[in-house]
Amino acid sequence: MYHIRKAELKDAEQIANVHVNSWKSTYFELINEKDMSNITFENRKALWETILKMPTSGQVALVVENTDGEIVGFVSGGKERTKRFGYDGEIYAIYLLADYQRKGLGTWMLAAFTEEMVREGYQSMLVWVLTQNPSSRFYAKHGARQIEKEDTTIGEGTYQESAFGWKDIHELSKKLKSLEQRS
């Protein structure tokens, strides 16, 4: 059985581990190796320590633990950063270790995160994903519509990413809850 809860400062190291390992396993065929080397455990740990020490208003960070209490996935987000598309919320990161993917945990994390975003007062939400990333189908499967494509820089490389969004996260939350009740 798995457990989902709000992330705490003590989780920074495990979150960094999930972030780096799942990022590299997800993107190893999509991003140049030189550009991938910029994502290190040390810089991710420092990032998560900073985020969790000083959370901003409206920010949500959740972790998923396995039966041994190890963090195997996380999701974080808050205010939409670009302010260009008419969405007020954004998923900044959602990652699961490879061994825990395709078990329904991603949907469960999305459901819990959406519920927290609703509690924080958000009405809509988007997520950016590398266009070539097969997991973009996950968002479409859950009703997100593609909104935009644009280039982003990772390391020294330029890659295309796509924004997917839900105009009504209250509706998304209802759909995800009904999926949970059926399983």
Region of residue 158 (left: phi > 0; alpha: psi -120 to 50; beta: else): beta
List of E strands, the chain:
3-6, 60-65, 71-79, 89-96, 125-130, 145-154, 157-166
Whole-prediction pTM: 0.93
- Rounded to the nearest 10 degrees, the angle between the axes of helix 105-119 and helix 169-182 is 140
- Domains of the chain (ranges; CATH) run 3-182 (3.40.630.30)
> How far, CA to CA in Å, does 86 sit from each of 58, 125, 159?
17, 9, 24
Write the pLDDT tens digit of every residue in 66-116.
999 999 999 999 999 999 999 999 999 999 999 999 898 999 999 999 999
Write the pLDDT tens digit of every residue in 10-30.
999 999 999 999 988 888 888
